[in-house]
Amino acid sequence: MRILEVFNARAFRLALAFALAITLATTGAFAFIYWQVYTADFHRAGAILVDESARSEGASDAELRRALQLRLTRDIRRLDFVALFDPNGGLVFGNLQGAPPIPIDGQAHVVQEQPLPDSSGTREPAIFVARRLPSGGVLLLGRSLWETYSLQGTLLRALAIALLPTVLVILGIGAIFARSALQRYERVHDAIVRIMNGELDSRLPVTNDDRDIDKVARAVNLMLDEIARLLQQLKSAGDNIAHDLRTPLAVARARIERALNNEAGIEQLREALETALGQIEKVSTAVSAILRISAVENGAGKAQFKDFDLGAVCAQVFDFYEPLAESKGVDMVIDAVRPLPVRGDQDLMREAVSNLVDNAIKFTPAGGRVRIEARMAGGRPFLRVSDTGPGVPRQERERIFDRFYRGERSGKSPGHGLGLSIAESIANLHGFTLTVEDNNPGARFELTAAAAPASAPRERETA
């Protein structure tokens, strides 16, 4: 991984922005502290000088001299300025060579360059208070601001020393996170490239962390699993279509070729064409069923859903198939609550129930029974179609809804293995789950709604 890629990473740019924000915040905090220290020292020194000068108004010249002398004696670090001037401006006492240019108003004033009392010629900022005495003279008190300015300089140096390592640490942490993120993205990218190159079993790497990228990776992996399942289903469907369509087309072609080669008469040629038409009709039925499944799975007509009575639909299917069941010697029973409100496409639901009932009659021997039940269970619509036929072996129950799958019990019975697949697609479209259980004997197909409809009548619930 190149260093330039790390610096160009979004995580590093975020760290850089965060470092800039920290720098600005720290600078602002130090500036506030700096200003508070400067202001506090200035006001404290000025207040002391103003108070001392005010208390000296009633003192005599001798008392002022003693007080100023004592002040200079205690000023070990030579930070104080004192001076007593006569009414003519002459220096009577003090350590100043001349009065600074400030008004004589008893208030504190800052002088940026004040020569020190010694003979070094060094100049420092200072604060002064000048007050007119009753005798006409002027009392001048001052204090060097060297300590205040020194403290301010210390604060500025502390800011400069602390700020740079802080920024560097933040940038270093950002670089580490950027490198980690880039490595993760590279692994994801490599996995995507492998998938694009045909390795459909590859999946995006997922860690145990519940980070955003892991959530996306898990969702993409689930999507890839579904795509793989659909591709496998498509491949299986394609193989089954080719197998199921090849036989009737081959039979039709063979019949026609035989009739033509034998120079058959009109009747034999008619018979061959009728057989071919029957096989073509079989192919057309299979193709129509496939298209029907695709339309249902794509949610065609879902916008036109409306409320209908599932119990009435079951009654219609019962009336339609009862003659067929009677002709096979199969007893057919219905137990459907009416009304049983369901929202969806009534024609599609009728087709799903018809496929289940047709399937049950087809595999139920004479003397058996087919039962249709529809009611509310747990506040949800529930439908069951059961029979007393050979049932569905446990190992086939997961595949029985696959397209073109025909179990061992199918034998030579007519059909393409698409009826249950259509019923499952319609059930999923309407928010139902279609399952198959053992009826002891026979099979039991159950349609269970995933959620109760808003208009479901609670008083009709049964166990």
Task: Out of 3.40.50.620, 3.40.190.150, 3.90.79.10, 3.30.565.10, select the CATH number for domain 302-462.
Answer: 3.30.565.10
Given a cut of 80, whether residue 57 has pLDDT beyond it is no
Model pTM score: 0.47
Which residues share a beta bridge with 342?
A: 308
pLDDT of residue 313: 93
Q: DSSP 3-state assignment of 110? A: strand
* Confidence tier at 6 by pLDDT (50, 70, 90): low
* C-beta of residue 50 within 8 angstroms of C-beta of residue 129: yes
Mean pLDDT of the chain: 77
Report d(CA 378, CA 374) in Å as an integer: 13
Q: DSSP 3-state assignment of 391? A: coil
Q: What is the mean pLDDT of residues 361-377?
A: 92
Report d(CA 119, CA 78) in Å as an integer: 13
Which residues of the chain are in CATH 1.10.287.130 domains? Answer: 212-297
pLDDT tens-digit series, residues 254-266? 777 777 676 656 7
* Confidence tier at 446 by pLDDT (50, 70, 90): very high
Quickly list DSSP for 260-280.
Answer: HHTT--HHHHHHHHHHHHHHH
Joined tokens for residue 197:
């190159």
449 CB-contact burial (10 Å; exposed 0-12 / middle 13-18 / buried 19+): buried
Report d(CA 102, CA 363) in Å as an integer: 118
- Position 165, amino acid: P
Which residues of the chain are in CATH 3.30.565.10 domains? Answer: 302-462
Buried b vs exposed e over 24-50: b needs ≥16 C-beta within 10 Å? eeeeeebeeebeeebeebeeebbeebb
* C-beta of residue 455 within 8 angstroms of C-beta of residue 380: no
Of 285, 342, 293, 352, the closest CA to residue 317 belongs to 352
* C-beta of residue 348 within 8 angstroms of C-beta of residue 426: yes
pLDDT tens-digit series, residues 395-427? 887 777 776 666 655 555 555 567 788 888 888
Report d(CA 316, CA 353) in Å as an integer: 10
pLDDT tens-digit series, residues 332-341? 999 988 889 9
Q: DSSP 3-state assignment of 262? A: coil
What are the φ and ψ backbone dihedral angles of 139, each rounded to 5 degrees? -100, 130
CATH class of 1-202: alpha beta
Report d(CA 424, CA 434) in Å as an integer: 6
Tell me which architecture the domain covering 212-297 has in CATH: Orthogonal Bundle (1.10)
Cα distance between the two ends of the chain: 64
- Higher-pLDDT residue of 190 and 173 is 190
